[in-house]
Chain A
Amino acid sequence: MMPDGDMRLPGDMRLPLAADKSPALSVSHLSKRFGDRLALDDVSFDVGRGEVFGVLGPNGAGKTTAVRTLGTLIAPTSGSATVAGLALTSENGVEIRRRIAIMPESPGLYLRLSVLENLECFADLYEVPEARDRIEHALRLMGLTDRARDASGSLSKGLRQRVALARALLSEPEVLFLDEPTAGLDPVAVREVHELIVGLRERGVTTFLTTHRLEEAERLCDRVAILNTTLRTIGRPDELRDKLFTRTLTVRTLEGLPEPDRVFGGLSAVDGWRRDGSAGYILTVSDPEVAAPDVTRALVAAGADVLSISESRHSLEDVYLELIDEEKEAAPA
């Protein structure tokens, strides 16, 4: 379990879950080695049911290896996991794959078959009951009804991705793994996939999403993990920002304050300040909502013409880059 205040622990990075809900995924000290190359190293986390869990990381960070391992396509070298309530063992492989669905980075459709024929094949592979109804529903959900008879090879990349998502939803999985679902898509197709993921969350489907797109993770995921062979950190996007960066207020005035230390130094809500240009100040605060009114009153009392007071926002990209940069600096030369 992850204690408060300690953002990065090497092994176990699990978050507390509601007592009445077993996690959809529970990963404990999982490692995977390919020959001499370590792809995953001592990774631990839990994913709650209905959660959209994002995994961010650079190329070769082990994101796809994590998906394939949890999807029973490859065996872990060490460690253990529970997937959709079943222990990750080769004996449980068939039953685990029955309960989950994986959408690989490449759609992998049968290009000579129509969209409908692709879905028929997978409906039978999952042995879904009332396959015809499920297929029609999946086609409707993905907006593919009028393309059902088209050869998959004639579809655009975005449409193929949609077919792959329809295919993944046929079995109504408990856990859905999406490996870079928007890679190589144009902005319109990306937006469509995002809307679909939001729709899945509303329907309570647990989603394990790997992505390069930080804004995608920030927008869609309840929690994100930053992976680079080892798990670097895990948490809600805003939580990660708060833990990694001090909270600040940015103040802009019409002209520079003659004695800024007198204005800001006497405020208990302000921990410190520094200049940002000739008429800008960055204040370090512990609680921006408490500090902002105090700062405003102090500036007005000092006769300053206040242009703006705003909380500085760090993006998930800042968090990501900070962590990756730290790792590069820590790596032996």
Chain B
Amino acid sequence: MRISWRRVRAIVRKELREYRRHGSVLVATAIFPVIFLIQPLFVVFMVHSATAALLEQWHLLLYMLGIPVLTPAILAAYAVAGERQQGSLEPVLTTPIRREEFLLAKALAALVPSVVIAYGVYAVFLACVALFAQPDVAVAVLRPPDIVAQLLLTPLLAGWSIWVGIAISARSSDVRVAQQLSLLADLPVLLVTSLIAFNAIHLTLALAVALTAVLLIADTLGWRIVSPMFNRERLISSTR
């Protein structure tokens, strides 16, 4: 199958333009990054230098992996159900676009802003800690392995969340229901990242490699698994 990147680009560009002009989507995508930024900052600035060693037991940076889990869920849930709700799905499906191209474009359109937002929030956090936190606290929080893990896991977690969101969106007729279900479906992943961040699950190199491998496989297979769920006939004629 030959992928037309021009068609993929067309949908990605259209999606990004729509996000920018869609107030409720902007607000929804801004909420989670703010929540996941405030709490670590609060912890960092409340901890005294004497107790900074406590932070070494935590992976505070990894707590912020909730951002790439939850932010794309909102966007991905809108991907198909939103088009269907505003009546624009049928005209798009009358064009030569393949469902694989359509879904890939939708996934990329959700991935790009989600990763940019996540990395942007990390940068703000790292800058705040480096510039304003007490030196002992900064050393305890800013650990190179955590930063590398965070940078690597962010797009992989976002990819997982996006495929789950698109799968739910392709089966839902209501955007709000799709968004709520997507968030619910992502809670187990969020739980794992939070348990790792607070050392309830001890993060070892082997676990990190295993998690990365699982996410890589899930992201790669996600496209193939979700594509058959995208049924033109059902989406257009609303038959089940």
Decide if B96 is an interface residue (CB 8 Å cutoff).
Answer: yes
Pair B10/A125 contact, Cβ less than 8 Å: yes
Mask, A95-116, CB within 8 Å of B = 1, is 1011011101011111111000
Pair A164/B91 contact, Cβ less than 8 Å: yes
Decide if B95 is an interface residue (CB 8 Å cutoff).
Answer: yes
Chain B hits for A100, CB < 8 A: 94
Chain B hits for A125, CB < 8 A: 7, 10-11, 92, 95-97
Pair B17/A102 contact, Cβ less than 8 Å: no
The segment from A69-77, A79-87, A213-221, A257-265 that touches chain B is A69-77
* B98 partner, pick from A75, A94, A107, A124, beta carbons under 8 A: A94
Chain B hits for A108, CB < 8 A: 86-91
Chain A hits for B11, CB < 8 A: 121, 125
Q: Count the A residues whose beta carbon is within 8 Å of the partner chain — how many?
A: 34
The segment from B35-43, B126-134, B230-238 that touches chain A is B230-238
Residue in chain A with minimal CB distance to B14: A121
Decide if A294 is an interface residue (CB 8 Å cutoff).
Answer: no
Q: How far is the CA of A102 from the CA of B89 in the complex (A)?
A: 13
* A35 partner, pick from B9, B233, B239, beta carbons under 8 A: B239
Pair A104/B97 contact, Cβ less than 8 Å: no
Pair A112/B10 contact, Cβ less than 8 Å: no
Q: Count the B residues whose beta carbon is within 8 Å of the partner chain — how many?
A: 30
Q: Which of B1-48 contact A (CB under 8 A)?
A: 4, 6-7, 9-11, 13-14, 17-18, 21-22
Pair A109/B88 contact, Cβ less than 8 Å: yes
Residue in chain B with minimal CB distance to A109: B88
Q: How far is the CA of A120 from the CA of B17 in the complex (A)?
A: 12
Pair B94/A101 contact, Cβ less than 8 Å: yes
Decide if B203 is an interface residue (CB 8 Å cutoff).
Answer: no
Q: How far is the CA of A109 from the CA of B18 in the complex (A)?
A: 12
Q: Which of B65-117 contact A (CB under 8 A)?
A: 86-98
Answer whether A124 and B7 are a contact pair too, CB < 8 Å, given A35-B239, A104-B91, A117-B17: yes
Q: How far is the CA of A102 from the CA of B239 in the complex (A)?
A: 21
Pair A122/B95 contact, Cβ less than 8 Å: yes
Interface centre among B18, B87, B94 (most CB of A within 10 A): B94
30 pairs from A and B in contact (CB 8 Å cutoff): A34-B239, A73-B90, A73-B232, A74-B232, A74-B237, A94-B98, A95-B96, A100-B94, A102-B91, A104-B91, A107-B87, A107-B91, A108-B87, A109-B88, A109-B91, A110-B86, A112-B21, A113-B17, A113-B18, A120-B10, A121-B10, A121-B14, A122-B95, A124-B7, A124-B10, A125-B7, A125-B97, A126-B96, A127-B6, A167-B91
